[in-house]
Amino acid sequence: MPAVNSVLVVGGGLAGAATAIHLAQAGVAVDLVEIKPDTAALGSGITLQGNALRELRALGVWDQVQAAGYAFDVTGIRAPDPHGTVVAEIPDAKTGGPDLPAAMGMPRPELARILLDRATEVGVKVRFGATHNEVGQDANGVDVTFADGSTGRYDLVVGADGVRSWTRRALGVNLETRSVGMGIWRAFGPRPASVTRTDLYYGGPSYIAGYCPTGEDSLYAYIVEDAQDRSALTPEEQLATMRELSRAYHGPWDEIRETLTDPSRVNYTWFETHVLDEPWNRGRVVLIGDAAHTCPPTIAQGGAMALEDAVVLAELLVERSALDQDLWDAFHARRCERARTVVDASNQLAQWQLDHVQGDIPSLMRSIAQLTSQPA
């Protein structure tokens, strides 16, 4: 018998949806609330490494993911010269196993749709445009008041509601989310035939200019600069700024730049980071995914860490018979150090770029690949 019979999951992103699916498949009654109005609002593009693909296969959605995304096994390094010269082609580690691609790009809203459709299929009750505004607990359960005035009582609440987690604040958990000093422009558009993998351009006026195919007909392109306040720019000015920054980069970038015409498909955010010291739970409420740890996307492991949190938490809840300290100790032993190692590596790579130093990037990436090739 599982350690819980009823669970509220707050947040419909990767961590929340995956937790809900695993628990519902084991017979647990799961409600999931997502404050955004629909899956179209759940993010932009995402790069999924092999360990993320491994967890998606375990969730029973690999066929849909494979059909919707774009897989590749090599990352290219290009020079910021007039030709976008390829200077290296680096085979990506197949951390999900030899029968899965090394990496895959796909639209994050499409991945969210696939996961939430799967959640509904296995019995999760999903509510969009909903969240909680009060959480109180005792030794036996958690009482939740939702923003619409409705209430519920659950054996466990899972806060998977992102970097600025409302659940975390409701628990009174103080966690500093800080900028690492970089800002990223992202744009979404059609995929030129010349883009068949992620290519990274280091140097030039920006730290990185790259792109990732997200489907047969789509990609997202990005440029990383010093973090600065870009909030006063109109959408048209944001588009013009990204186009101007991209003019230093060539090869496929020359084709991509011509497709950057829609201001609504450009956004700008800062690289941010935090790691919550254990425990990640306060009684019968636990934080996972970006609510507990977030890292700059320098090694593309944020989504994978969220999925791993979900599978480990659900596994323990289903295998154990009591929601006790032994369960929480086992959860923290499997997740805290692993997540911190990945966040630290992501931050280290960002710092090397900020400092313009030649860090041992291959060694760093091999270490992370070795870690993430092992099941969570």
- Does 77 have pLDDT greater than 70? yes
When pLDDT is averaged across residues 86-94 and rounded to a whole number, the result is 94
Token reading at 66:
């494979």
> Nearest Cα to 158, choosing from 142, 175, 182?
142
Query: Could you report the per-residue pLDDT of 138-170, keeping only the tens digit for each?
Result: 999 999 999 999 999 999 999 999 999 999 999
Phi, psi of 275 (to 5 degrees): -140, 125
Domain ranges, ordered by start, for the chain? 6-69+107-177+274-373
93 secondary structure, DSSP code: P
Percentage of residues in the chain having pLDDT higher than 90: 94
Helix residue ranges, H only, the chain: 14-25, 50-58, 62-68, 108-121, 166-170, 235-246, 252-259, 302-319, 325-355, 361-372
CB–CB of 294/273 below 8 Å?
yes
At 127 the pLDDT is 97
Token reading at 245:
């920054």
3-state secondary structure of 128: strand
Percentage of residues in the chain having pLDDT higher than 70: 99
The domain 6-69+107-177+274-373 belongs to what CATH superfamily?
Answer: FAD/NAD(P)-binding domain (3.50.50.60)
Phi, psi of 201 (to 5 degrees): -105, 120
At 358 the pLDDT is 78
> Nearest Cα to 253, choosing from 87, 70, 106, 81?
81
In this prediction the pTM is 0.96
At 356 the pLDDT is 85
Query: Could you report the per-residue pLDDT of 305-361, keeping only the tens digit for each?
Result: 999 999 999 999 999 999 999 999 999 999 999 999 999 999 999 999 999 887 888
Query: Could you report the per-residue pLDDT of 174-232, keeping only the tens digit for each?
Result: 999 999 999 999 999 999 999 999 999 998 999 999 999 999 999 999 999 999 999 99
Angle between helices 14-25 and 108-121 (to 10 degrees): 20
At 42 the pLDDT is 64
- Does 9 have pLDDT greater than 70? yes
CB–CB of 39/113 below 8 Å?
yes
At 182 the pLDDT is 97
Length of the chain: 376
Say what the alpha-carbon torsion angle 200, 201, 206, 209 is, to the nearest 10 degrees: -50
- Does 41 have pLDDT greater than 80? no
Token reading at 306:
């969220």
Query: Could you report the per-residue pLDDT of 95-133, keeping only the tens digit for each?
Result: 999 999 999 999 999 999 999 999 999 999 999 999 999
